[in-house]
Structure 1
Amino acid sequence: MTTAEANGHRSLAEHSYAVLRDRLIMLDIRPGDPVNEAAIAEELGVGRTPVREALKRLEAEHLVVSYPRRGTFATGVDITDLAEIAEVRIHLEPVAARRAARNTAAEVRSGAEHLLERLDSLGADSTRRELLAADLDIHRFVYRASGSAHLADVLVRLDNLATRIWSLVLDRLPHLAGHVHEHEDLLRAIAAGDEEAAARIAAEHVRSFEQRVRESL
């Protein structure tokens, strides 16, 4: 395999992973649903090998589970995991936010401004998918902007699991748009380089998220 072929294969596997990951997170693929490798490959227009590699990554991230001779299935969503996930996030989210605010790279400032403009375009009439996608993108932006690949990797995985729990109770949460718009102050703090405000707001957001989910149960 040439270098170009290898890069193309990685791109197909990455694309397959990103599509499946977000479908699992937003519960387009419901907990317990089978994940048909052949059908997904055909839908995405890729070979089965990139899909198989994507599923291996997703299994490592506890989003799917494979059983010999039975196939691959979306993992269940356990509400009792919420407390443990929140306990870790309450410590790590402020670290990521503080580091992001400290990051003086021009793309961090412009990225925060772009996301603020995106939030400004979202309202109560925005779709569930649009709001969830914006929430995920904001969190992933902050994690990348932290400049720590290790920290980002841990937080992306935790946020993915938290979003699955959120998606499960979303119909009982009437103020989804308001929750997503809470990120505006965090993005402004990062754009302004205000480390302490960014860390404080990130911690408050985790607490608010956990409280709202618990109130919906």
Structure 2
Amino acid sequence: MQSQMAYRIIEEMIVTLRIAPGSRISEKSLNKTLGIGRTPIREALQRLALEGTVKILPRAGVIVSEIDLSDQLKLIEVRREIEKILAGRAARIADEQARNTFRNLAKKFEQAAAQNDEKIFIVTDREFNSLVSATAQNSYATHAIGPIGAQTRRFWYLHFKRFGDLRQVCKLHAAIATAIADCDEALARQASDALMDYVDWYTRRTLEALL
């Protein structure tokens, strides 16, 4: 469905800061950039507005929302529980094909860690998040995590080069992928918690430096 494709592409551009907070965007410019019709782009922007990622202002167009520093720890608190549910369910019910894919993703995360390669991580993380949601088969958790994950990832992408540790993030993701591949639900939930412990620490460290 084109509106879903438009949503995923535009959200990724915003999350990875290819479209910066506060930027003004339009259906026309996105139509030219993405080669997708204006109707699906409009539907995607409306969905992003409902999630708080953009603001649609009368006679002013569409503006990418600023990153609210004060909300980050609240978002992490909720994200922790939802991602733990998704990781645990994925480990419990993953079929052989999914388990093999998770093993390959773990290797890619390890490669990104070894090479300290941001591009490999971004591509692998996108595939990992999609596979966890698809494998867990819990649409309520998937719908809930979407906007929360987008906001916390925007914060991470904005500041990780100053305050983050890409190698550590890659290793923590690899641990979750490996646990799911091994069908170890308890370990998958534990590994998810470990990642969120790091995200919480990183966020607090960054906020202390910025505020």
Quote how far apart the aligned CAs of 1:145 are: 1.7
Gaps of 5+ in 2: none
Deviations along 1:113-162, one digit per CA (max 9) or x if unpaired, are: 22123224324645434323323332332232211111111122211111
**Deviation (angstroms), 1:215:** 1.2
C-alpha displacement of 1:103:
0.8
Equivalent position of 2:45 in the other structure? 55
**What is the identity, as a one-letter code, of the residue corresponding to 1:134?**
T
Distance 1:89 1:176, change over 3 A: same
User: Aligned partner of 1:62: which letter?
Assistant: G
Structure 2 residue identity aligned to 1:150: Y
Contact conserved, 2:109 with 2:171, CA < 8 A, in 1? yes
Match status 1:92 vs 2:82: yes
Which residue in 1 is equivalent to 2:2? 12
C-alpha distance in 1 between matches for 2:81 and 2:164: 28
Q: Superposed, which structure 2 residues align to 1:134-173 within 5 Å?
A: 134-173=124-163
Corresponding residue for residue 108 of structure 1: 98
Residues 79 and 129 of structure 1, relative CA distance in 2, 3 Å threshold: farther
Matched residue, 2:14: 24
Residue 76 in 1 paired to residue 66 in 2? yes
Instruction: Return the letter of the residue paired with 1:85.
Output: L
Q: Normalising to structure 2: TM-score of the pair?
A: 0.90
Contact preservation (8 Å) 1:134, 1:180: no
- Higher CA-based Rg: 1
2:112 match: secondary structure: coil
Whole-angstrom CA distance in 2 between matches of 1:99 and 1:183? 16
Asked if the contact 2:179–2:188 (Cα under 8 Å) also holds between the matched residues in 1, the reply is yes
Pair 1:108–1:114, CA change in 2 (3 A)? same
Q: What's the counterpart of residue 183 of structure 1?
A: 173
1:215 maps to 2:205 = yes
Cα RMSD (Å) of the superposition? Answer: 1.8
Q: Do structure 1's residue 66 and structure 2's residue 59 form an aligned pair?
A: no
Rounded to whole Å, the distance in 2 between the matches of 1:48 and 1:139 is 27
Give the stretch that moved more between structures: 103-112 or 133-142: 133-142
AA aligned to 2:149 is D
Deviates more, 1:120-129 or 1:144-153: 120-129
Letter in 2 for 1:208: Y
Change (3 A) 1:120 1:200: closer
Structure 1 residue runs of 5 or longer lacking an equivalent are 1-10
